[in-house]
Chains A and B, each alone.
Chain A
Amino acid sequence: DVKVTQSSRYLVKRTGEKVFLECVQDMDHENMFWYRQDPGLGLRLIYFSYDVKMKEKGDIPEGYSVSREKKERFSLILESASTNQTSMYLCASTWGVPTREQYFGPGTRLTVT
């Protein structure tokens, strides 16, 4: 079974802090994605990566950056957390064509106070 894990299920940070969200997949997938999910808005793509050291902006990249130093790991970074970044963050991975089925991690519920 494909397994996508995220470093934290729940996280509380203060405004202005630098926040790291980690995602690891164990199926040698090339493609990895970061989404945020907010009530009434569905999932929105923040960043994605097709390969190590590659990154592409999604629909809402402002305030975020990413890092992919190893194939299995994709990190989302909030350089200076703000209250409007309070959300559920979901990582996903897939192989080959990105429109193949994406496998999601359990999510990280981030609260910025």
Chain B
Amino acid sequence: KNQVEQSPQSLIILEGKNCTLQCNYTVSPFSNLRWYKQDTGRGPVSLTIMTFSENTKSNGRYTATLDADTKQSSLHITASQLSDSASYICVVSEGGATNKLIFGTGTLLAVQP
């Protein structure tokens, strides 16, 4: 069964610190992997999207990595800010005819002053 698992479920860090969120997937065939940020009570907003051939992509203080061999991805947040408090969702696209998106359940990040 195609699945996307994220860890940790929740995380609390102090403002200014770095953190790394993990995403492991079993989706096959693979098309692409994306990270979304979802503020409380809002819709998800795309941070990065990576295809099979890309192993790192940055968006400001957010850097995503992808290891297609081990089927793992991480999202690194540098110098965290209070506004980074949100849920971060890993989404993997199935390749082939289905074009289906498989969503992780998200990591809830709280940045404290």
Binds A, one of B40-48, B62-70, B78-86: B40-48
Per-residue CB contact flags for chain B residues 77-108 toward chain A (1 = under 8 Å, else 0) read 00000000000010001100001110111100
Q: Is A74 an interface residue (CB 8 A)?
A: no
Partner of A90, one of B43, B99, B100: B43
CA distance A31 to B94 in the complex (A): 17
8 A Cβ contacts from A85-113 to B = 90, 92, 97-99, 101-107, 109
Cβ of B41 and Cβ of A98 under 8 Å apart? no
Q: Is B11 an interface residue (CB 8 A)?
A: no
Q: Is A76 an interface residue (CB 8 A)?
A: no
Cβ of B42 and Cβ of A106 under 8 Å apart? yes
With A99-B32, A99-B93 as contacts: A105 and B103 at CB distance below 8 Å: no
Per-residue CB contact flags for chain A residues 1-19 toward chain B (1 = under 8 Å, else 0) read 0001000010000000000
CA distance A45 to B100 in the complex (A): 9
Chain B: which residue is nearest A98 at the CB level? Answer: B99
Partner of A42, one of B32, B34, B46, B105: B105
Cβ of B101 and Cβ of A45 under 8 Å apart? yes
| Chain A residue contacts of B31, Cβ below 8 A | 99
Partner of B43, one of A42, A44, A97, A105: A105
CA distance A4 to B45 in the complex (A): 12
Q: Is A43 an interface residue (CB 8 A)?
A: yes
Q: Is B49 an interface residue (CB 8 A)?
A: yes
Q: List 18 A-B contacts (CB under 8 A).
A: A40-B105, A42-B103, A42-B104, A42-B105, A42-B106, A43-B44, A43-B103, A45-B100, A90-B44, A99-B32, A99-B94, A102-B46, A102-B101, A104-B44, A104-B45, A106-B43, A107-B42, A107-B43
Interface set of A (CB-CB < 8 Å, partner B): 4, 9, 40-45, 90, 92, 97-99, 101-107, 109
Q: Which 9 A-B pairs have the closest CB atoms?
A: A104-B43, A99-B93, A42-B103, A42-B105, A43-B103, A98-B99, A99-B99, A104-B44, A101-B46
